[in-house]
A and B are shown apart, each in its own frame.
Chain A
Amino acid sequence: MSDLVLLIVTGLGLGALYFIAASGLSLIYGLMGVLNFAHGAFITAGAYAAWLTMGALPAGWPVVLRLLVGVLVAVCVGAVVGRVVEVVLIRPLYRHHIQQVLVTVGLSLAGVAAAQGIWGSDPRAVESPAWIGGTTDMLGARLPDDRFVYVLVAGVLFVGLLALLHLTRLGLVIRAGVENRTMVEALGIDVHRTFTVVFALGGAAAALAGALYSQYAGAVSPAQGGSLLIYAFIVVVIGGMGSLTGTAVAAVAVGLVQQLANYYAATGVGDLSVVLLLALVLLLRPTSLKGATA
């Protein structure tokens, strides 16, 4: 029983990281039709931004304060990078999907190469507050505290994004744009301005995922973003491009399946089971779990 509780909590924590990484990807594709392979570079940028910020702050500051500032800076960096990428690289290529893929793949590769060139290929250890590495006894299990942080952040992000989508005009335009971008323009709404905001939001969420994932892994490395991006893509495909709720459900499912399979089958089977889950959903529900409803 305690094993199951542990697996569920760790699975939820992993799913929370997947959701944070995938939420921006889902909105970007749902609204703009852009398959953003550079999302992994945004994740990596966030991880390095947080790490560099923490290192640059006075060592006398509490680690938790430096982490909070680092995460905040990472989110800002992600938003700026997302905005710049949309304006400079994506905007000239709307309706040119192949070129978009090539540009975002190129940017992703360039991002990894740049990080390797500047900071090297080896993982760099990140500082963590002592309590993040600690555990909490609950229902007979010793549960890692960091998973609660990831779940809490993902929950806040989920609620925040839902509020943005359902309580603001920007959200209304995004939801309409996910359904029919052309018709949004035909109602006199400058959808390109919305694209920029969504790309910045996606970049910020990706950077947040990167900063938290570096805490999960205990280090930053150039390839970190790419590996998290693979799961983010799987989550988005299962949950439905543009569907925030679908993305959340899929992220939890992927995290739990991965953890349970790794424990009850064999180490490494978790990744395979995630791919099987993806295949199963695509076979049974080709339109994904939630279609394209935000």
Chain B
Amino acid sequence: MTAQQPESRGAAVSAPVLELDDVHVRYGGSHILQGVSFEVAATGVTALLGRNGVGKTTTLKAIIGLAPRSGRIMLRGSEIQTMATSRIVRSGIGYVPEDREVFGGLTVDENLRLVAPDQGADAPVVGRLFPDLVTRRGQRAGTLSGGQQQMVSLARVLLRENALLLVDEPTKGLAPKLVTEVADVLAEVARTRPVLLVEQNLPLVRRIADRVVVLDAGAVVHRGAAADLVADVDLTRELLGVSMRREGAA
């Protein structure tokens, strides 16, 4: 593991909202997470980085209870690792999965009413952050573009007063203009609640993340300030196998 970096921006001064302690995930004969431990600060964006297949998505699924796991996971000081997924979510964790996973056969409004039965697309937060969804409220979510589906997926978790949002590759497969729109929304959201973000897009990480946790082969290999990591070309290349100079804009 590389030396821990001092956190230069948005440093966690209060108790962490989420703590993972020696979390393991095994699928069949594969040991995917091998003792992952880190904390998510109570404010700002913590980015979970790493090469493809190192266990980033599995880490989010372990937190939310969608992957069989062992170890300790604490949300605001309370253990949640034995809870069912639905109870974890009701405890205050919102989950935006990779590939959006909206309900394609339901309308936009119905997708939102699953979380907020009395409001749906009428919720103020939807009108403020996703005005396009309000106008498309009667449209089946399966007929929306990828960016619009991502907005539905984000809007769903914002309808509940969550203590933490887990967001898995929200810009994956989106056009550059939509990447910027999603980044704007995430930056806005992160002002009011902490976000644990899995993302491959380093310019986006540089723009909105305060802290980074880097995984490799199912274990944490680096923790520190996001600005320090993305400023260090050699470290970025060593940990992620990419260079900021070759990345596009967020």
Residues of A within 8 A of B (CB): 169, 172-173, 175-176, 179-180, 182-191, 293-294
Known contacts: A175-B105, A179-B105. The answer to whether A187 contacts B115 by CB under 8 A is: yes
Tell me the nearest residue of chain A to B91, going by C-beta: A188
Contact of B97 among A173, A175, A183, A188 (CB under 8 A): A183
A180 touching B101, Cβ below 8 Å: yes
Residues of B within 8 A of A (CB): 64, 66, 84-87, 89-90, 95, 97, 101, 103-106, 110, 113-115, 117, 156, 160
Known contacts: A172-B113, A175-B106, A176-B106. The answer to whether A183 contacts B84 by CB under 8 A is: no
A180 touching B66, Cβ below 8 Å: no
Once A and B bind, how many residue pairs between them come within 8 Å at the CB atom? 57
23 residue pairs of the A-B complex, CB under 8 angstroms, read: A169-B113, A175-B110, A176-B106, A179-B104, A179-B105, A179-B106, A182-B66, A185-B66, A185-B86, A186-B66, A186-B89, A187-B86, A187-B89, A187-B114, A187-B115, A187-B156, A188-B86, A188-B89, A188-B160, A189-B86, A189-B114, A190-B86, A190-B87
Shortest CB distance A19–B (Å): 21
Expressed in whole angstroms, the Cα–Cα distance for A172 and B106 within the complex equals 8
A183 touching B64, Cβ below 8 Å: no
Kindly list chain A residues whose C-beta atoms are within 8 Å of the C-beta of B97: 183, 186
Tell me the nearest residue of chain B to A189, going by C-beta: B86
Kindly list chain B residues whose C-beta atoms are within 8 Å of the C-beta of A184: 114
Kindly list chain B residues whose C-beta atoms are within 8 Å of the C-beta of A172: 106, 110, 113-114
Tell me the nearest residue of chain A to B93, going by C-beta: A188
B84 touching A185, Cβ below 8 Å: yes
Kindly list chain A residues whose C-beta atoms are within 8 Å of the C-beta of B113: 169, 172
Tell me the nearest residue of chain B to A191, going by C-beta: B86
Tell me the nearest residue of chain B to A193, going by C-beta: B86
Kindly list chain B residues whose C-beta atoms are within 8 Å of the C-beta of A175: 103, 105-106, 110
Shortest CB distance A245–B (Å): 12
Kindly list chain A residues whose C-beta atoms are within 8 Å of the C-beta of B117: 169
Tell me the nearest residue of chain B to A292, going by C-beta: B105
Kindly list chain A residues whose C-beta atoms are within 8 Å of the C-beta of B114: 172-173, 176, 184, 187, 189
Shortest CB distance B5–A (Å): 33
Instruction: List the 4 closest pairs (A to B, CB-CB), nearest first.
Output: A188-B89, A185-B85, A188-B90, A183-B101
Tell me the nearest residue of chain A to B95, going by C-beta: A186
Tell me the nearest residue of chain A to B105, going by C-beta: A293
Kindly list chain B residues whose C-beta atoms are within 8 Å of the C-beta of A191: 86
A sample of 16 more A-B contacts (CB under 8 A), given A183-B103, A185-B85, is: A169-B117, A175-B106, A175-B110, A176-B110, A179-B104, A179-B106, A180-B103, A185-B66, A185-B84, A186-B85, A186-B86, A187-B86, A188-B86, A189-B86, A191-B86, A293-B105
